Amino acid sequence: MDKFIVHGGVRLTGSVAISGAKNASLALMPACLLTNGALTLKNTPNNRDLGTMSRLLGSMGVGMSLEGDMLTLDSTSITSYEAPYEHVKQMRASIYVLGPLIARYGEARVSLPGGCNFGPRPVDLHLKGLEKLGAEIDVTGGYIIAKCPRLQGAHFHFDISSVGASVNILSAAVLARGQTTLTNVAIEPEVTNLALMLEQMGAKISGIGTTTLEIEGVDSLNPVVASTIPDRIEAATFMLVAAMTRGDVTLTHVIPEHLDAVTQKLIDTGALVDVSDDTIRVRMLETPEAVDITASIYPGFPTDTQAQWAAYMLTAQGASRIRDTIYPTRFGYVPELQRLGAHIETGEGYCVVKGNNKLTGATVMSSDLRASASLVMAGLVAQGTTEILRVYHLDRGYEKLESKLGALGAVIERHPTEDY
Ligand code: EPZ
């Protein structure tokens, strides 16, 4: 396991290229199972979760090759329709193979994902959606066993807006016989990235980008060369850390409209934000004003950025209330920030960050991907050095974060450690 040693007190300046979106790649990769031949994904990020998905698909016999950020996947000769627990326990998005497998091969055996430390994270919508399309679903021994010679189009309504369930059911419906109508579909950019790629492959989908998708099933799809959208959560993290250190940072390779909610809130705190087609420049010249946020589904403020917002608000004047309507218990980062001297109160589904904190470096423990980012951010403004353990959480969704921050002036060292 690695740890970071973060030296506080540095103002970040310069420019940083944002990588491809982890949560888009994880949705695009399993779509290789929907067709024979080489599906190529440009702008693929290099992080731990992508490694996990690659190992899972490889274990099923998918051939893969990576040249720079061009990932090519070929499922022509897959040998297994199974996603074993050893892979799924590392990453719940492994369940994304379920829809494509049942749609293309008529069978799948996928381990149930575990929960995680910010909620139970059920998969009932994934299973209900596939059953509505005619799949026979059995859950035994910790595994989902799905069978169906050919899925049949239907109308499925998502009771809750779910990114993962939308990905799975959309990926299945494109090969179902006849018409499928999906309502209350998630419209996160990662879902739209998948829908556009499926359309490129020959799927017949109307309503892309809206919460209602009409799908006319086809008998087969063709492999294509598609692009992964930039990672809006990595981008949001860099925008906030730039403002938090009173820096001047330009992000390149972004899609600014994916970040409207974060940009608006950042401007409300007093940051200067300049936007072009594919860049965002963030400057902060004075102490930020405290601003409340409520994490909600897209295009609302992303739940994957609320921990980073809490870190940013530690340096603001005034108190900021942070609510999360998607994961009401996603505040595992609070006790760790408190170890650095943060004044934060938590309640049912929210926390209140008191501003003007004088943070002092300490040893802290990462608990999940985005919580780890908030610890790095706080370490960058704390007095002295902060030791962050279990940075494998961070590596799941950030590509060489310490190098990117280092190029902006941060002083962060990565050390192997036996500490757990
Ligand atoms: C995706 O998770 C993301 N992961 C998460 O990012 C993100 O936090 C989340 O969407 C919300 O935006 C990937 O894309 C790989 P959901 P997912 O299904 O699909 C409930 C990160 O840091 N629900 O949209 O699992 C669920 O409990 C990760 O990159 C059901 O009730 O989230 C939650 O309250 C963390 N039944 C709500 O829906 C289901 O069958 C939204 O979850 C599925 C979900």
Q: What is the number of alpha carbons within 13 Å of residue 376 lying toward its C-beta?
A: 31
**C-alpha 53 chain-centroid distance:** 14
Residue 61, domain CATH: 3.65.10.10
Nearest to 283 by CA among 292, 291, 275, 274: 274
Residue range 185-211, pLDDT digits in tens: 999 999 999 999 999 999 999 999 999
User: How much distance in Å is there from the Cα of 386 to the middle of ligand 1?
Assistant: 30
Residue range 5-40, pLDDT digits in tens: 999 999 999 999 999 999 999 999 999 999 999 999
**For residues 135 and 150, what is the distance between their CA atoms, to the nearest angstrom?**
8
Residue 38 is assigned to a structural domain of this protein: yes
Nearest CA to ligand 1 atom 22: 304
Nearest to 28 by CA among 45, 11, 4: 45
Q: What is the atom index within ligand 1 of the atom nearest the CA of 298?
A: 12
Q: Work out the number of other CB atoms within 10 angstroms of the CB of residue 179.
A: 15
Contact residues for 123 (Cβ-Cβ < 8 A; gap 6+) = 95, 112, 113, 144, 164, 165
Residue range 140-152, pLDDT digits in tens: 999 999 999 999 9
Nearest CA to ligand 1 atom 42: 162
The answer on 321 and 218 residing in a single domain is: no
Strand, coil or helix: 112: coil
Q: What is the atom index within ligand 1 of the atom nearest the CA of 396?
A: 29
Q: Is 367 in the pocket of ligand 1 (CB under 6 A)?
A: no
**For residues 45 and 27, what is the distance between their CA atoms, to the nearest angstrom?**
13
The answer on 61 and 123 residing in a single domain is: yes
310 CB-contact burial (10 Å; exposed 0-12 / middle 13-18 / buried 19+): buried
Helix (H) or strand (E) holding 71: strand 70-74
Q: Is 93 in the pocket of ligand 1 (CB under 6 A)?
A: yes
Average pLDDT estimate for 307-327: 97
**Amino acid 419: pLDDT:** 64
AA identity, residue 325 = T
**Amino acid 70: pLDDT:** 97
Q: What is the atom index within ligand 1 of the atom nearest the CA of 119?
A: 27
- Residue 95, pLDDT > 90, answer yes
The answer on 190 and 108 residing in a single domain is: yes
Q: Considering Cα of 345, then 320, then 298, then 35, what sign does the dihedral take?
A: negative
Helix (H) or strand (E) holding 385: strand 385-389
Contact residues for 407 (Cβ-Cβ < 8 A; gap 6+) = 14, 16
Question: What percent of the chain clears pLDDT 90, i.e. is strictly above it?
Answer: 92
AA identity, residue 16 = V
- Residue 273, pLDDT > 60, answer yes
| Site to substitute for ligand 1 among 95, 125, 326, 401, most atoms within 8 A of C-beta | 326
Average pLDDT estimate for 219-238: 98
User: How much distance in Å is there from the Cα of 8 to the middle of ligand 1?
Assistant: 33
The answer on 395 and 260 residing in a single domain is: yes
Contact residues for 87 (Cβ-Cβ < 8 A; gap 6+) = 52, 55, 56, 59, 94, 111
Q: Is 121 in the pocket of ligand 1 (CB under 6 A)?
A: yes
The answer on 276 and 218 residing in a single domain is: no
Average pLDDT estimate for 167-195: 98
Q: Which of 227, 245, 274 is the last residue of a domain?
A: 227
**Amino acid 368: pLDDT:** 87
Query: Taking each helix axis from N to C terminus, what angle separates 232-244 and 260-268, rounded to the nearest 10 degrees?
Result: 10
Residue 317 is assigned to a structural domain of this protein: yes
Nearest CA to ligand 1 atom 16: 162
Nearest CA to ligand 1 atom 31: 122
Q: Is 130 in the pocket of ligand 1 (CB under 6 A)?
A: no
The answer on 279 and 159 residing in a single domain is: no
CB–CB of 235/404 below 8 Å?
Answer: no
**For residues 241 and 246, what is the distance between their CA atoms, to the nearest angstrom?**
9
**For residues 60 and 113, what is the distance between their CA atoms, to the nearest angstrom?**
18
Backbone angles phi, psi at 323, to 5 degrees: -115, 150
**Amino acid 19: pLDDT:** 97
Catalytic positions are 116
The answer on 199 and 64 residing in a single domain is: yes
The answer on 278 and 168 residing in a single domain is: no
**Amino acid 168: pLDDT:** 98
Residue range 241-267, pLDDT digits in tens: 999 999 999 999 999 999 999 999 999
Helix (H) or strand (E) holding 321: strand 319-324
User: How much distance in Å is there from the Cα of 161 to the middle of ligand 1?
Assistant: 9
User: How much distance in Å is there from the Cα of 303 to the middle of ligand 1?
Assistant: 9
The pTM is what? 0.97
Q: Which residues pair with 64 in a beta bridge?
A: 73
Residue 237 is assigned to a structural domain of this protein: no
Nearest to 244 by CA among 375, 339, 381: 381
Nearest CA to ligand 1 atom 7: 304
The answer on 206 and 321 residing in a single domain is: no
Q: What is the number of alpha carbons within 13 Å of residue 341 lying toward its C-beta?
A: 16
Domain span at residue 88?
Answer: 22-227
CB–CB of 29/216 below 8 Å?
Answer: no
Q: What is the mean pLDDT of the chain?
A: 95
Strand, coil or helix: 126: helix
Q: What is the atom index within ligand 1 of the atom nearest the CA of 128?
A: 40
User: How much distance in Å is there from the Cα of 257 to the middle of ligand 1?
Assistant: 21
**For residues 130 and 325, what is the distance between their CA atoms, to the nearest angstrom?**
26
AA identity, residue 177 = R
The answer on 137 and 269 residing in a single domain is: no
Residue 245 is assigned to a structural domain of this protein: no
18 CB-contact burial (10 Å; exposed 0-12 / middle 13-18 / buried 19+): buried
**Amino acid 121: pLDDT:** 74
Q: What is the atom index within ligand 1 of the atom nearest the CA of 326?
A: 34
Average pLDDT estimate for 288-317: 98
What is the pLDDT confidence band of residue 118, given thresholds at 50, 70 and 90?
Answer: low
Q: What do you get for the CA distance between the two ends of the chain, in Å?
A: 8
| Site to substitute for ligand 1 among 118, 163, 324, most atoms within 8 A of C-beta | 163
Q: Which of 208, 227, 246 is the last residue of a domain?
A: 227
Q: What is the atom index within ligand 1 of the atom nearest the CA of 126?
A: 40
- Residue 420, pLDDT > 90, answer no
Residue 240 is assigned to a structural domain of this protein: no
Instruction: Give the chain's length.
Output: 420
Residue 91 is assigned to a structural domain of this protein: yes
Nearest CA to ligand 1 atom 19: 164
**For residues 343 and 366, what is the distance between their CA atoms, to the nearest angstrom?**
19
Residue 382 is assigned to a structural domain of this protein: yes
User: How much distance in Å is there from the Cα of 304 to the middle of ligand 1?
Assistant: 10
Residue range 64-87, pLDDT digits in tens: 999 999 999 999 999 999 999 988
Number of domains the chain contains: 2
The answer on 203 and 313 residing in a single domain is: no
The answer on 82 and 131 residing in a single domain is: yes
Residue range 320-375, pLDDT digits in tens: 999 999 999 999 999 999 999 999 999 989 999 999 889 999 999 988 899 999 99
Q: Is 182 in the pocket of ligand 1 (CB under 6 A)?
A: no
**Amino acid 114: pLDDT:** 66
For the record, the structure tokens of 351 come out as: 């926390």
Residue 69 is assigned to a structural domain of this protein: yes
User: How much distance in Å is there from the Cα of 327 to the middle of ligand 1?
Assistant: 9
Strand, coil or helix: 45: coil
